[in-house]
Amino acid sequence: MSLFITFEGGEGCGKTVQTRALYRRLTREGIPAVLTHEPGGTVIGEKIARWLKWAHGAGISPLTELLMFDASRAQLVEEFIQPSLKHGKVVICDRFADSTIAYQGYGRGLDLQMVRSINDTAAHGLKPDLTILLDSPAEIGLARKGKGKQDRFHQADIAFHTKVRQGYLKLAAEEPARWLVIDASQSKKEISEIIWGKVRLSLRAHSLRSV
């Protein structure tokens, strides 16, 4: 039974912690699952991701940035996500197309219709069955990440991160059946229990739909 689950939210909101926890939980339950992330997840995608995150001062334009994320996405969908879904796996992806709408659309100000259209092409029309938004004020996530080496997105100002957060909340409100919004200020354990409760329901609903 295949299911495509994506995790979204601003910097440091806990996506990586929670995608890993869900992957471990599914595996423990004997449910075949794979875990991947964006940008990256393939050999070429990781090269693109390095540019996207670390090319400080390269003057990457918002449109170039959009196309780079979608280039990474196209490769990941073709090479990994679609084949995994075809093999009946639960695919967990740490960020997906909604990140691009939130960051390059709402954050950078690119035309939302254009972003959606390029996203759809790159994703071969694939949409997540469930998207989990870990919602928190930008300041909290940025503080959690600390003052270590900062990528291009971490370095953007609070106004940018606040637009991204508002963008995510709009996306979730537009499609409430697909999104689960979680207050990310709760403990890791509390959040992972909420996620597991929802994923169990989705697995059940999905298996009923496909018989």
Residues in the site for ligand ATP, rule: CB under 6 A? Answer: 9, 11-17, 144-145, 187-188, 191
Tokens encoding 209: 């739909």
* Sheet with 33-37: strands ordered across: 33-37, 90-94, 3-8, 130-135, 179-183
Q: Closest CB to Mg ion among 15 and 161?
A: 15
Q: How far is the CB of 92 from Mg ion (least distance, A)?
A: 13
Closest CA to 74 of 41, 121, 115: 121
Q: Is 150 in the site for Mg ion (CB under 5 A)?
A: no
Query: Which of helix, strand or coil describes residue 189?
Result: helix
Write b or e for each residue in 34-70: b if 16 or more Cβ atoms lie within 10 A of its Cβ, otherwise e: bbbbbbbbbeebeebbebbbeeeeeeeeeeebbebbb
Distance CA 198, CA 207 (A): 14
113 vs 187, beta carbon nearer ligand ATP: 187
- Least distance from C-beta 44 to ligand ATP, angstroms? 20
CB of 16 to Mg ion, least distance (A): 3
CB of 5 to Mg ion, least distance (A): 15
Verify cis geometry, omega within 30 degrees of 0, for the bond prior to 128. Answer: no
Tokens 């637009």 belong to 163
Contact yes or no for 105/170 (Cβ under 8 A): no
Chain positions 1 to 40 lying near Mg ion, rule: CB under 5 A, are 15-16
Which CB atom, from 161 or from 203, has the smaller least distance to Mg ion? Answer: 161
DSSP-assigned letter for residue 156: S
Name the residue whose CB lies closest to ligand ATP.
Answer: 14
**C-beta nearest to Mg ion: residue:** 16
Residue 167 contact partner, candidates Mg ion, ligand ATP, none, CB within 5 to 8 A by sort of partner: none
> Phi and psi at residue 133, in whole multiples of 5°?
-100, 120
Nearer to Mg ion, 39 or 203 (CB): 39
Partner whose binding site includes residue 71, from Mg ion, ligand ATP, none (CB under 5 to 8 Å by kind): none
Residue 145 touches which member of ligand ATP, Mg ion, none, C-beta under 5-8 Å by kind:
ligand ATP
Give the strand pairing for 3-8 and 33-37.
unpaired
When CB distances are held under 5 to 8 angstroms depending on the partner's kind, the choice from ligand ATP, Mg ion, none that residue 195 binds is none
Radius of gyration of the chain (CA): 16
Residue 113's binding partner out of Mg ion, ligand ATP, none, with CB under 5 to 8 Å set by partner kind: none
Residues forming contacts to Mg ion in the complex (CB under 5 A) are 15-16
